[in-house]
Structure 1
Amino acid sequence: MFNIVESKDKKFIEEMNLLLRMRGLESVVNALGQDAAGNTIYAVQSSLVDHHEKGLHLILSDRAFLSDVINPQYLEILYGLRGGNSDDIVSLIKSPRILKMWAITAVIVLGLVIFIN
């Protein structure tokens, strides 16, 4: 089973499952276990890889998906998930290793331009 989204809020997970199933995805809600505080963690899961990928796309980036969310409180959770996803990409782009690679590439290109002219 592939986890599409996890949360301690069972109602949130049930609504996400309902919305995904309305779009034709085969998904189920399962309890994964408990965290250190004893709260049960629930997940929307799918046994099909393509449904897992489509579910992630819908939850993390599809704008039309947001319009179907019934409870406004859940919109805040989804915005948080989406923001976290873009923050990861931004932090990757700004990582020192990537910046060094860009600097080296720029020096090589500049050197080639000067050498050729």
Structure 2
Amino acid sequence: MLSFYRRLAVKLQPLQPLWLLLALASLSWLGYLLLLAPVGVSQRWQLTALVSFAFTLNIMLLTLLFDQPPATTDASDFWSRLLQRLRGFMQYMLAWLVTILFLIILWLFLRIAVGIIAPLIL
């Protein structure tokens, strides 16, 4: 899982300014919906704006956390080995957290597609 996220982060790293621009655009869209939009429009599109903002933030988190491989040091004593294993464990837990966040975002997107976008098309 960590190697997959590292490869993905290396491929997405050059697009970091694009992810930042998309995050700012979706945040400004959400701000417009919350503050200025009519109630009907706001209720319909708030979840979409929030999910798009969460997706871009999660992509940015992925590219920041997993772009560098972990530093391998010569662990000769107990505390160095323990610290190295704890770092590996925490990075593995971060990978699971990113995966869970992606699954939640995917579930919310499917909820949007079924609940909002499908009635607009049909």
Q: Same fold (TM over 0.5)?
A: no
The structure whose residues are more often strand, as a share, is 1
Bigger relative contact order (CA 8 A; separation at least 6): 2
The TM-score, its normalising length taken from structure 2, stands at: 0.28
